[in-house]
Structure 1
């Protein structure tokens, strides 16, 4: 439930960015853990420490195609005086009953195959004649060798130290070692490790399901013909992509017309598949700002704290915002302004941290750094507002792109950072060190 009810609220109150974010993060709770198959757990956060049940690799094995030998049998071997060994058979990966290598013997061995009893090292096939005579195997000849049958001989032209070209049992991880810590986000390398130690399922917090919905009768879907006064719906695409980038499973709902009943019905329909709802548009004070009209009176009479609170924030862009919960399960809802830049900046500041909090991550924020402002003229900022300007960051320097207008989508597409101008600063001179939020 939103903690807004515990604050001094009201239509004229100006919230700070930090207060609004604090309210969101105090409300959003991590999703309950579930057991998932490995591939279904990609992108999810572990809720348990993973201990290795079996050493990896589980046995000594060869890192090369070659011959498993005893060190004494190849001591002093050279091209002039090769060691001649009897080939007793082949050892392939997955072979259940390895051969035993005795004095004067060797076994042809494949990469990953277990080192047979009696053998102490592996000599690569390139150090031998491959059992064919005529000097060391090289080039195309090395790649064309066929498996050696038992009873033949191989000439070895170099000596080998004990354990040469042998991967030791447990050299990666040992049984009982900690493989992964709780809180780890599972990417491809982590899933590979889990599979390698025999884990088929894992307990995680699932990726949150985020439904993104844009509003406005003027919105047309891409590939459709624009009419008079119409624009293409870019916000729902941008925010859906941003939600996926944040780690969510995101669903985009086509633009909803400026009708409060239709919007409320559309939201109700989406509650069944949402852990978080995001709307864009219709949160200001205009006659057709239907999100406020549809949701400002929403309340669950049986549950304290339900409902949506619409606020003014001391920020630019993104002054109008809405936040609360909706439906019998109190699904969090963030209502963002409709201008494209306002919508995207609001997502980065408020929605992305909410998604990361639902995932159970400790660090929910984008990284922030200090950088030197490079620009031809001073930046201006409205007094009492925290301004977020788009910029490009390179090697400790940040350069503004576009202007302060909240409709400048082309400039937004070039930006990889947000330049933060504090509330008490009205002008920033070139060369000044500023706070920067990195978006990439």
Structure 2
């Protein structure tokens, strides 16, 4: 990295930078969304429905019967049925006096009579009322990120729309020297995955004036500027932010991600994210993701707790991103601070060691979030 190295004392702690960002962040207003457009969004409220299915339903094609009429029936000893059975198909409502479904070959007709060739137990071939979902059960919880399975359940319950929170995130790419959009595309994809509607733009050049012009006036709930966050001659994105708004902090006690910056343009929070992939990852996890969680009111993420296979050493005064891999029930640290792409590719989870900690001893039980 070119440019002068700042002493630790001149760096802003990750906790302070994040607290400043979150200070004025409020959840975006809920919007109604068609189910097919809801995947990835965060539910704005709990959705509960009546019992599912609402009545006893045939699970297979066959004859709707009463189990007590079939006692002792077999191919060797057919049972004469007193009433004609009703043919039903999977998904049909079961007749009110029936409690099982026999397959087609288990009933024979000798006009005008019917004989059963097999027994059945109550509930065989039947989905009872409320068996899929009891009355009042939640389909979607407030703050839950909506997945494909949630949509399947919502459709089964007769829903066609959901109330969601979907903030607008503008990702502004500062052109990289190698012309690749690796980090900007990663940030944009991560924001979409977190439930945001993403607008992706690119500055014409790497100078502050070009970046300031590209910031424009498009309304958004969070602005992420990717690239141009270095020190000295390489901090054009930070200079552009200063020209359009306020820089709260530039230079964070975060490894990797030291050259990240945070600020505001009016009420809109702004994060300047380093263009190097590992630094972009750290800035996303440590800064951008928590802001998006606040905007969407996403429920708390639950860490997976496992013992450490070996110790994690960390420098006091820096928050350090650690990548971990699950091996034989333990967390095995892969990399701390400097994160090669190979380690990112093989990691299962992550954690950020607090600035006041020297790390964790081997065997310590620690919580990590899926990567």
TM bucket (normalised to shorter chain) is 0.7 to 0.9
Q: In the alignment, what sits opposite 2:278?
A: 341
Distance 1:308 1:48 in 2: 35
Matched, 1:413 2:361: no
Q: Within 5 Å, which residues of 2 pair with 1:213-228? A: 213-216=172-175, 218-220=177-179
Matched, 1:74 2:70: yes
Distance 1:295 1:179 in 2: 43
Residue 246 and residue 366 in structure 1: after superposition, are their counterparts in 2 closer, same or farther (change >3 A)?
Answer: farther
Matched, 1:106 2:85: yes
Q: In the alignment, what sits opposite 1:264?
A: 212
1:351-381: CA deviations, max 9, x gaps? 1111121111131x57364642538xxx765
| 2:333 match: secondary structure | strand
Q: Please list every run of 5 or more consecutive structure 2 residues that lacks an aligned counterpart in the other structure.
A: 1-7
| 1:279 match: secondary structure | strand
Question: Would you say the 8 A contact 1:419–1:434 is kept in 2?
Answer: no
- Normalized against structure 1, the TM-score is what? 0.71
Q: In the alignment, what sits opposite 1:44?
A: 41
Question: Would you say the 8 A contact 2:176–2:227 is kept in 1?
Answer: no
Question: Would you say the 8 A contact 1:281–1:337 is kept in 2?
Answer: yes
Distance 2:322 2:178 in 1: 26
Q: In the alignment, what sits opposite 1:147?
A: none
1:256-306: CA deviations, max 9, x gaps? 42222211121116x24x32111122223222421122111334xxxxxxx
Distance 2:174 2:41 in 1: 31
| 1:297 match: secondary structure | helix
Q: Within 5 Å, which residues of 2 pair with 1:26-41? A: 26-41=23-38
Q: Within 5 Å, which residues of 2 pair with 1:9-20? A: 13-20=10-17
Matched, 1:372 2:320: no
Task: Report the RMSD for the aligned CA atoms in angstroms.
Answer: 3.2
Distance 1:310 1:198 in 2: 49
Q: What is the number of equivalent residue pairs in this alignment?
A: 363
Distance 1:176 1:436 in 2: 33
Measure how far apart 1:33 and its partner are: 1.0
Residue 107 and residue 215 in structure 1: after superposition, are their counterparts in 2 closer, same or farther (change >3 A)?
Answer: same
Question: Would you say the 8 A contact 2:309–2:330 is kept in 1?
Answer: no
Q: In the alignment, what sits opposite 1:396?
A: 330
1:189-248: CA deviations, max 9, x gaps? 33233333333223222x22322223246141xxxxxxxxxxx33211222222233332
Matched, 1:293 2:239: yes
Measure how far apart 1:82 and its partner are: 0.6
Q: In the alignment, what sits opposite 1:331?
A: 268
2:200 aligned to 245, 252, 262, which one? 252
Over alpha carbons, which structure has the higher Rg?
A: 1
Question: Would you say the 8 A contact 1:421–1:434 is kept in 2?
Answer: no
